[in-house]
Amino acid sequence: MKGFTLTLSVVSLIATILIGVFISFVLGIMYSFHLYITKTLIIEKIYSYSNAQDALLSLLEMKKEGISFKQALIYSMYENTLEPKIYNGEKEIVYSLKDVAKEFLDYFYIYDDYWLFLYNTSTQKYETILASKNNPEKLFSDPKGSSRAQVPLSKDYYIVIYIKTTD
């Protein structure tokens, strides 16, 4: 009878440990799945992309001497320069796309990396307006941790922004 009690105790101990391991395993999977959902879907897929899109849409509304960035972009395409000359109703101004973009993007992404450029889909060529670092092509060749937004300007032209946030 004593031997039976001992065996029962050992079996109970092993069963308890096995059940505990199983519960921990299930909770671990649930927790990992939850972290995946939160980080991957909510933060990386929703927040990061909407943040990049909002940054680009806001930048297009930035004004300098009455001329918005989006108006200047159209002039820029026709004049084929990043510093188009625009008459604002009072005088002709030289609108530096780079300066306006820098004022805006440096305010938000002072610790992050960004790359703003014009992209021509027919020639597949791009022209950088502003980048936080030299050689942005290499910096953004790894898509991990970066988000992108784009707005069409004409049939072939897009303005594109890449943002890579530092954790």
Which spans of this chain sit near another protein (rule: CB under 8 A)?
2-3, 5-6, 9-10, 12-13, 16-17, 19-20, 23-24, 27, 30-31, 34, 37-38, 42-43, 46-47, 50-51, 54-55, 57-59, 61-63, 66, 103-104, 107-108
What is the amino acid identity at position 160?
V
Q: Which is nearer to another protein, 43 or 94 (CB)?
A: 43
Q: Which is nearer to another protein, 66 or 143 (CB)?
A: 66
Q: Which is nearer to another protein, 54 or 127 (CB)?
A: 54
Give the dihedral of Cα atoms 95, 101, 158, 111; nearest 10 deg. 170
Instruction: Give the integer Cα–Cα distance in Å for 143 and 52.
Output: 14
Sheet architecture: strand order including 146-152: 125-131, 113-120, 157-164, 146-152
Q: Which is nearer to another protein, 112 or 156 (CB)?
A: 112
Minimum CB separation of residue 4 from another protein in Å reads 10
CB atoms within 10 A of CB 159: 23
Minimum CB separation of residue 141 from another protein in Å reads 25
Ordered alpha helix ranges (H), the chain: 2-36, 48-61, 69-79, 97-108, 136-139
Minimum CB separation of residue 74 from another protein in Å reads 18
